[in-house]
C-alpha cells in the first residue's frame, strides 16, 4: 500500500519530439561534471555533442554495425554494444551516470508509450541519474497533458 515513507524516484524525465529537440536539450541539461550514458547512439552524432559538454559520455547501441561505424568515425570517443532492455549490462559499465539520453527506433509511436515509461522507470531505479532525456513524441504529448495533483492543504 502506498505511503509517504516509501522509496520515491527523484529523476527528472525530459521528453522531446524529433532529433532536433533531443539535441537542443544538451546545453541546458548537461554540465561539465556530468557522466552521460547515451542509449541508441547509432553512429555517434549526438555523442559528439554530448562529449563537448560533459566529463564523460559512453555511447551505446544494440547494433554492432552501428558501434563499429561510430568507433571508426569518432576514435576518440567511447562506444559499447548494449541492448537498452539489459539494464544490468548498463550497470556493469561501472560509471556513476548522472544523465541518460535515450533515442531508440520505434519509441515515438503511441503503442510504445508503456514500453517507454517502463524503460525510463527501470533506468531511474537502477542508475538513479538526475535526469533522463528521451526522444519520444508519444511521451512528450502525454506529459504535456499530465500533472501531479497537489492537495490544497500542503
Confirm or reject binding of residue 70 to ligand SAM (CB under 6 A). Answer: no
Closest CB to ligand SAM among residues 19, 91: 19
What do you get for the CA distance between the two ends of the chain, in Å?
A: 21
Grid coordinates belonging to 111:
503503442
Cα–Cα dist 78/72, whole Å? 11
With contacts defined by CB under 6 A, how many residues of the chain interact with ligand SAM?
Answer: 17
Instruction: Name the burial class of residue 117, with classes exposed (0-12), middle (13-18) and buried (19+) by CB atoms within 10 angstroms of its CB.
Output: middle
The least CB distance from residue 120 to ligand SAM, in Å, is 14
Q: What character string, x for contact with ligand SAM (CB under 6 A) and - otherwise, covers 34-63?
A: -----xxxx--xx--------------xxx
Closest CA to 68 of 50, 90, 42, 94: 42
7-36: contacts with ligand SAM (CB under 6 A): 19
Q: Are 133 and 14 in contact (CB under 8 A)?
A: yes
Closest CB to ligand SAM among residues 40, 129: 40
- Which residues form the interface with ligand SAM (CB under 6 A)? 19, 39-42, 45-46, 61-63, 66, 83-85, 103-105
Amino acid at each position: 500500500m502506498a505511503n509517504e515513507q516509501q522509496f520515491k524516484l527523484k529523476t527528472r524525465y525530459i521528453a522531446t519530439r524529433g532529433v532536433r529537440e533531443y539535441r537542443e536539450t544538451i546545453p541546458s541539461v548537461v554540465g561539465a561534471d556530468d557522466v552521460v550514458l547515451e542509449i541508441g547512439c547509432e553512429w555517434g552524432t549526438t555523442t559528439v555533442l554530448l562529449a563537448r559538454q560533459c566529463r564523460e559520455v559512453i555511447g551505446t547501441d544494440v547494433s554492432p554495425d552501428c558501434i563499429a561505424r561510430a568507433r571508426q568515425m569518432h576514435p576518440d570517443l567511447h562506444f559499447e554494444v548494449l541492448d537498452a532492455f539489459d539494464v544490468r549490462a548498463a550497470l556493469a559499465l561501472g560509471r556513476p551516470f548522472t544523465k541518460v539520453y535515450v533515442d531508440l527506433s520505434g519509441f515515438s509511436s503511441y503503442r510504445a508509450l508503456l514500453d517507454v515509461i517502463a524503460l525510463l522507470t527501470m533506468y531511474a531505479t537502477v542508475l538513479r541519474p538526475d535526469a533522463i532525456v528521451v526522444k519520444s513524441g508519444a511521451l512528450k504529448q502525454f506529459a504535456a497533458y499530465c500533472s501531479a495533483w497537489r492537495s490544497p492543504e500542503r
